[in-house]
Structure 1
Amino acid sequence: MREADMRLNRYFFVMFFVFIFVISAQSKDAAYYMKAGIERDGSGDDRGALKNYNQVIKLDPSNAKAYSYRGVIEERAGKLKEALIDFDKAVALDPDFADAHFNRGVVLDKLKQYEKALKAYDKAIELEPKMASAYFNRGNVKVSINNLKSAIKDYSMAIQINPKYIGAYYNRGSARDKNGELKLALADFDEILKLNENIAEAYVKRGKIKMKLNDYNGAVDDFSVLITGYQGPPDEYISELYFLRGFCFEKLAKYKNAIRDFELSAEFGSADAKEHLVNLKGK
């Protein structure tokens, strides 16, 4: 072997180890930036996290998680098209990345691309059949396209996976209410208030369902809980509560109580309450 060949071989030998060293360093750098990005993301520093994820992608363009994590930050910032591009890239790199399919569904839903959103959630559920949030979100999309029966099934699956999933009870109750399944809807809001008695909107929804079922005494009880505990300024919310309770009192022929509530509701700006007052005072 000639000396020139030996030098050439030594050159390639050295360059091989330099190449391995550079690749190893880049890999470590990507891991470092990923860890830093996740930490900043968790602390609410979206700008810092975004910079770190950008660096990960620069160093390791095949890192599906970096695209997905960056997409989540872009989605939070309202940059839906940019987020969708990142989620598309994440699932292209890793077709079995359930969270990325889920995140695609979130963005597609916000873009009102409902059929595509459904397919994204279908894939997330196929990959992770116990992902309660995917059933929940898919149910929400189905409500948006007025497929209530199928939405109710999805909320039921979410509850089966997580029996304390308050959002799923709430949305299932709302879908059942809209679908005319009033007693089942009532049971959902009952369950919510067993799990957490401080969810004000559950009392409102339950009270309104009781009104539809002609249970005006029960509705009065629900609205009274909220009126008694209300500590905010006079606004449309408290005005509506007084109006609803006044309406129930009127149906129960408790006219003095009804007039008192309608007067308070009218004081806070309710035109409907003023109309009811005119009719009641004319009796």
Structure 2
Amino acid sequence: MNLKRAKFDMPAARLAALLVLGSVALSACTSTSAVSDLNNVDRAQGSSENISSLSAVVNRNPQDPEAYNVRGSAYGKGGRYREALADFDKAIQLNPQFYQAYANRALIQRYMGNQQAAIADYSRAIQINASYDAAYIGRGNLYRLAGNTQAAFNDFQKAIQLDTTDPRAYHNRGLLYQSRGQHALAIEDFSTAISLSSDSPEPYNGRGLSYLANGQLDNAFADFNTSIKLNPKIAESWANQALVYEKQGDKAKAARSYKEAKRLDPNYKPAIDGLARTSAGA
């Protein structure tokens, strides 16, 4: 029952972490792209048929914390957060050192709006296993979204020092470098994230904006085009492409790209503002 590694998603209000089975992962020039997981995993694993079979396992092994953790993960992927929370609670009750279950519960807490509880669960997972990179990344993203950028940076840095192969650590640290205007470092991190997950559009958007900030229009344009090719339904990618057209003086093409961004997300302010600036050239 493996899942793909978590991919990137936006906007920042969407959530970040991994549901895990035991120790194995289930499978202006600042980017708004953040990370996500449940939006990209195999929803079939949260199907009623799969949950039914997992419930049979729980019934046969009522004292096995792993059985509850696995079913809780399936509940989470199926959007049944209260059932998921109950299963992770039970797994932790049976095994208070089950750090993966704490991280899984943190994700569900976050989906339910319990941000401080989520941070506490990630912190407990780290206390039990100080080398658990997924917990640093999950907690770091919570800190980042709350505006606690130094704590977020420290967590992403720690995950990277642990030799994580999770692209989220590099992507999110890149966003922080970018917000500080440290675009060379941001480009390096986005490039590493791309090397670890080349089919994810968000690191291309991030790197493209840092290229743009450094005046490297051709590189920026190539990255935005790649992002659109990978997923043409992301408003940010089209708005970023439009920004290059605008800087090149081609208002007609810029307006068309801004219009597509606004169609995808009618409330996306960069698209609204860009279209207002360039619509006369459409």
The alignment's TM-score, normalised by the length of structure 1, stands at 0.67
**Counterparts of 2:228 and 2:184, CA distance in 1:** 28
**Higher RCO structure, 1 or 2 (CA under 8 Å, sep 6+):** 2
CA contact (8 A) 1:176 1:182 kept: yes
Residue in 1 that maps onto 2:18: none
CA contact (8 A) 2:207 2:223 kept: no
CA drift of 1:130 comes to 1.9
Residue in 2 that maps onto 1:95: 96
Residue in 2 that maps onto 1:53: 54
**Counterparts of 1:110 and 1:267, CA distance in 2:** 32
Verify: 1:221 aligned to 2:222, yes or no: no
Unaligned runs of 5+ in 1: 1-40, 250-254
The alignment's TM-score, normalised by the length of structure 2, stands at 0.68
Distance 1:164 1:57, change over 3 A: closer
Residue in 2 that maps onto 1:6: none
Verify: 1:276 aligned to 2:278, yes or no: yes
Q: Which amino acid aligns with 2:117?
A: K
Verify: 1:265 aligned to 2:260, yes or no: no
CA drift of 1:182 comes to 4.1
Q: Which amino acid aligns with 2:239?
A: E
**Counterparts of 2:68 and 2:241, CA distance in 1:** 50
Deviations 1:173-214 (A, max 9, x none): 123333554443233223334556654432322222344x4x
CA drift of 1:168 comes to 1.1
Residue in 2 that maps onto 1:205: 206
Q: Which amino acid aligns with 2:217?
A: A
**Counterparts of 1:46 and 1:74, CA distance in 2:** 8
Unaligned runs of 5+ in 2: 1-41, 263-270
Distance 1:165 1:45, change over 3 A: closer
The aligned runs of 1:109-128 (5 Å cut-off) are 109-128=110-129
Distance 1:113 1:245, change over 3 A: same
Q: Which amino acid aligns with 1:117?
A: A
CA drift of 1:240 comes to 2.1
Deviation larger for 177-186 or 61-70:
177-186
**How much identity, in percent, do the aligned residues show?**
25
**Counterparts of 2:247 and 2:134, CA distance in 1:** 37
SS at match of 1:95: coil
Residue in 2 that maps onto 1:150: 151
Residue in 2 that maps onto 1:246: 245
Residue in 1 that maps onto 2:69: 68
Distance 1:248 1:200, change over 3 A: farther
CA drift of 1:108 comes to 0.8
